Structure 1
Amino acid sequence: MQVHPNQLIPGCILLKPVEGKTKHPIIFDNTVIEEKHIEVLQHFGVKAIEVSERLVSGVTFQPGDLKEESKDETGTATTDFATLYKKAVQSYKTLFKKWQSGSPINVNELRRIVIPLFNCMEDIQLDVFLLHKYATKEDYFYHHGISVALISAHLAKKVGYHKEWIQIGIAGILADCGMAKLDSTIMQKERTLTLSEYNEIKKHATLSYRLVENIAGLSKEVKLSILQHHERLDGSGYPLGVKDDKIHPFAKIIAISDTYHAMTSERCYRKKQSPFKVIEEMLILAYTKFDYVLLQTFAQTLLNYSIGTSILLSNGQEAIIVYAKPETPIRPIVRLTSTNEVISLKDKPALFIEKIISNN
């Protein structure tokens, strides 16, 4: 049967070779499709392939519906990022509730949710760092899953994971799937968790790993990163308390994404914080908690998108970012809008960027 790559699931059997632009096969016939093959097909923009009506397990393959995108008169997809994002959050919420009811995790369903967002990342740039603006206190958890996936994929790409970045994004959305096996009342708490409740929450990393450990379409690296995304370089993390060299690089990326989005988002028991203040606090913890090179790249990427941007400082004054030194990316040189005075935030430790007003 002929299907679109977005309809594939691990275990499909390719009946005909798939040729690239050079007419050389990029995937040979009789290949048993894995997650990496689906990524290759999407990367090359393949529209249709021929697969067997049965999976390698012998089970009948039933491809899911392929949703059509709305297009304008030029044939360009018109769905904007905000719409895709909000739809993804609702779809993830639906899936999570199924997991709470005992349904198994379907990686292909997750891919259909996040791949359209991944495809937008080059266009939205700064918005990757401002995903917290969409989050609500009531649905924070579901926003968090989608946002961690996006931020992790974005950071992975920035540090050179040109093949694995989608896998890392998928690991990001699955990192908290084990929460589905915990008492749901803990997730709905509107106050700071007690010590016993916090210890219960800490079980989610192990539970997440248990939910994904037998999924054939996920690599060992992805599964390990899901288990380790709360580990810290100094061994103070959980569930195993392993240190730097024992933590998988994918997990170090998710750790930064997870912490950044959690601290910048408004939650039932905690106010949101400025992205710049959050990164500054995280940089202070670099070398002991987070991978410094990854975190520095994350910070520099945010400021690269922000040069010439109008900002609001923590003292209520508006300013424009004019320059950022690589060694102090979140403390740039700014020009005050009211007086045209140029100041370096590096020399004013009590002052920081509160929020971005507009990106010029």
Structure 2
Amino acid sequence: MRKISTSNCKAGMIVGKAILHNGAAVLLEAGARLTASYINRLINLGITEIYIKDDVSKDIDIPDVIEEKTRLEAIELVKSTMEAYYHGDKLNSDKIIEVVIKIVNEILLIDDIIINLMDIKSCDNYTFLHSVNVCVLSIVTGVELKLSYDALKELGIGAILHDIGKVMIPPEILQKSSALTDEEYEVIKQHSLLGYNIIKTIPEISEASAMVALCHHERFDGKGYISGLKRNEIHIYSRIVAVADIFDALTSDRIYRKKISTIQAIDYLTVIAASSLDEEVLRCFAKIIPPFPVGTGIVLNNGEKGVVIGVNRNLPSRPVVRIVFSSDGNKKSSYNEINLAKETEYFIKSTAELTK
């Protein structure tokens, strides 16, 4: 399995991972064969990438840290929760707690966690996928930080609900494709307080979890919002969610900008961490996010092109790659594999789609 742009898809390609639309609805199942009309539909829906199965990616497994069924359940729960609250219903705290416990338990079953970014995101399902992604990323970071089981649950509940306040923000502001005015930005900022006020009314959810909604935009230098808190004034849960929130936003297509690569996002976080983020949290976060995830197309310094088939945990920038195209651009009759951790004369020069 490997990831390619929908603009490079061709009729006859096999879908490698289920493609979601409008939250958790499955648009195309894994194993479906693409047609020209399917490809046009994906492009029109704003789905810019999909996973495919082909001879290049034969035997490449891209495991998720939670079961697909659990991820779909969580996405649907976030969607239904936000829609229900918008229409005046109460949050179903039992279901929220239940799905977070399931996510925590599945993550704790993994001995050596590496997250490959498995989601196929479009602008229409961003909010729901984002909430679940931030939850998963935050919990795995919490595991790296050696938080207790109960703390991981509190963290996960706060993370999955961190943007619940956005149901109270006018859609014309939330979905605006052009730059926000100062007044509109002030309205957007209120989602933190609005979310906190929603969550704190639920007795089954702790104050620490509710504070994630309130404080996930606070920054170490005091230049965040809403209260301008600094450093250890910000709860550890909010410091974790801040990193996960920024990372997932950067690596997602939005109405107003295109996403950036994993390695660019990590570089950005590293730069701003000196003043704005908890550096220890970011250090743990970076350990679980390989800069070149499995299934990524790459170009080596010698001009050969290939796909990442494995990650070296101790040297994540030097993965195992399958060479598909020689330096002259011709597809190889048989593919060889290089472990960049051992063959140090090679390094990844850039990422690239394996179209030619």
TM-score range, shorter chain: 0.5 to 0.7
Out of 265, 270, 275, the position equivalent to 2:252 is 265
- Say what the alpha-carbon RMSD is for the aligned residues: 3.3
Which is richer in strand? 2
Partner of residue 312, structure 1: 297
Partner of residue 295, structure 1: 282
Structure 2: which amino acid aligns with 1:95?
Answer: T
Larger radius of gyration: 1
Residues in 1 aligned to 2:96 and 2:298: alpha-carbon distance in whole angstroms: 38
Shift of 1:126: 6.4
Shift of 1:305: 10
Shift of 1:192: 4.2
Greater relative CO, 1 or 2 (CA 8 Å, sep 6+) = 2
Paired positions, count: 268
Contact 1:277 1:352 in 2 (8 A): no
Map 1:214-225 to 2 at 5 A. Answer: 214-225=201-212
Shift of 1:320: 4.9
Residues 149 and 204 (structure 1), Cα distance of their counterparts in 2 relative to 1, 3 Å cut? same
Structure 1: gaps (5+ residues): 1-79
1:208 paired with 2:201, answer no
Partner of residue 137, structure 1: 123
1:118 paired with 2:107, answer no
Deviation sequence 1:244-282 (CA, Å, 0-9, x none):
121111110000111111111122222222112211210
Shift of 1:185: 2.6
Three-state SS of the structure 1 residue aligned to 2:78 is helix
Structure 1: which amino acid aligns with 2:123?
Answer: K
Structure 2: which amino acid aligns with 1:318?
Answer: G
Partner of residue 62, structure 2: none
Contact 2:216 2:242 in 1 (8 A): yes
Residues 332 and 204 (structure 1), Cα distance of their counterparts in 2 relative to 1, 3 Å cut? same
Shift of 1:215: 2.5
Shift of 1:352: 4.9
Normalised TM-score (structure 2) = 0.65
Residues in 2 aligned to 1:355 and 1:118: alpha-carbon distance in whole angstroms: 34
1:184 paired with 2:161, answer no
Superposed structure 1 runs of 4+ greater than 6 Å apart? 124-127, 321-326, 333-336
Residues 319 and 252 (structure 1), Cα distance of their counterparts in 2 relative to 1, 3 Å cut? same
Deviation sequence 1:104-157 (CA, Å, 0-9, x none):
3232121233333333324597674414x2322111011111111111111111
Contact 2:114 2:288 in 1 (8 A): no
1:250 paired with 2:203, answer no
Structure 2: gaps (5+ residues): 1-65, 328-337
Structure 1: which amino acid aligns with 2:137?
Answer: I
Residues in 1 aligned to 2:91 and 2:258: alpha-carbon distance in whole angstroms: 32
Partner of residue 101, structure 1: 87
Residues 225 and 352 (structure 1), Cα distance of their counterparts in 2 relative to 1, 3 Å cut? farther
Residues in 2 aligned to 1:162 and 1:314: alpha-carbon distance in whole angstroms: 41
Residues in 1 aligned to 2:250 and 2:111: alpha-carbon distance in whole angstroms: 21
Residues 334 and 222 (structure 1), Cα distance of their counterparts in 2 relative to 1, 3 Å cut? same
What's the % identity of the aligned pairs? Answer: 25
Contact 2:114 2:290 in 1 (8 A): no
Structure 1: which amino acid aligns with 2:145?
Answer: V
Shift of 1:312: 2.4
Normalised TM-score (structure 1) = 0.64
Residues 334 and 129 (structure 1), Cα distance of their counterparts in 2 relative to 1, 3 Å cut? closer
Residues 191 and 120 (structure 1), Cα distance of their counterparts in 2 relative to 1, 3 Å cut? farther
